[in-house]
């Protein structure tokens, strides 16, 4: 298994039946929706059931943390993926929205001990956002939805391994004895 979420190697599913929830901003929904669809496709291809991938929409990126917290507090949710887009504008509004979303998502993750993945794109232009959000087959260059899905699986695997006393970081061989 590759440790790079952008590689072509799909992470193996170590937690069958895992539930990964999504909180998706409706602001620029054409792009956040594309990221969501790509992430769901990747998770289903990795062995998860689409019924275990619930999603809720919120108006914008600033509102992502409160719904993420609600999901993260549920005992049946293993991880949460937050998807949003904040575009640079004529004022500094984008800075405050992005910082609020980022700080809130981090706080939720640490206070609930549940992985909450930050899928909030902060771009200068809509063209940059399209390049990052859309799958390659739809004209994108980076497919952040797929990347976030793979990262969620890798984080869940790392958490499972951290409970094991013989845990080793993914992608690194076990140490050899001289």
Predicted confidence (pLDDT) per residue in 22-66, tens digit: 999 999 999 999 999 999 999 999 999 999 999 999 999 999 999
Domain span at residue 63 reads 20-162
Q: Give the whole-number percent of the chain exceeding pLDDT 70.
A: 84
Q: Is residue 10 part of a domain?
A: no
The reply to whether 100 falls in a domain is: yes
Tell whether 57 is covered by a domain: yes
Say if 175 falls within a structural domain.
no
- The answer to whether position 74 is within a domain reads yes
Q: Is residue 107 part of a domain?
A: yes
Residue 7 within a domain = no
CATH of the domain at 113: 3.40.50.960
Q: Say how many domains are in the chain.
A: 1
Predicted structure pTM score: 0.86
Is-catalytic flag, 36? no
* CA 102-106-111 angle, 5° bins: 150
Residue 132 domain-assigned (yes or no): yes
Model confidence pLDDT, tens digit, residues 128-158: 999 999 999 999 999 999 999 999 999 999 9
Q: What does the DSSP 8-state code read for residue 16? A: T
pLDDT tens-digit series, residues 79-109? 999 999 999 999 999 999 999 999 999 999 9
């Amino acid at each position: 298994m590759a440790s790079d979420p952008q590689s072509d190697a799909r992470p193996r599913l170590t937690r069958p039946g895992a539930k990964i929830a999504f909180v998706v901003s409706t602001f620029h929904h054409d792009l956040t929706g594309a990221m969501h669809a790509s992430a769901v496709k990747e998770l289903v291809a990795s062995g998860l059931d689409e019924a275990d991938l619930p999603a809720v929409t919120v108006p914008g990126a600033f509102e992502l943390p409160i719904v993420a917290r609600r999901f993260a507090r549920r005992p049946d949710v293993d991880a949460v993926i937050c998807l949003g887009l904040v575009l640079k504008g004529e004022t500094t509004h984008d800075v405050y929205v992005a910082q609020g979303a980022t700080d809130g998502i981090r706080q939720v993750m640490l206070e609930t001990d549940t992985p909450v993945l930050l899928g909030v794109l902060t771009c200068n232009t809509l063209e940059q956002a399209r390049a990052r959000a859309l799958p390659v087959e739809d004209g994108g260059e980076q497919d952040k939805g797929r990347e976030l899905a793979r990262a969620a699986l890798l984080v869940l695997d790392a958490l499972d391994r951290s409970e094991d006393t013989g845990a080793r970081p993914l992608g690194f061989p076990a140490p050899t004895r001289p």
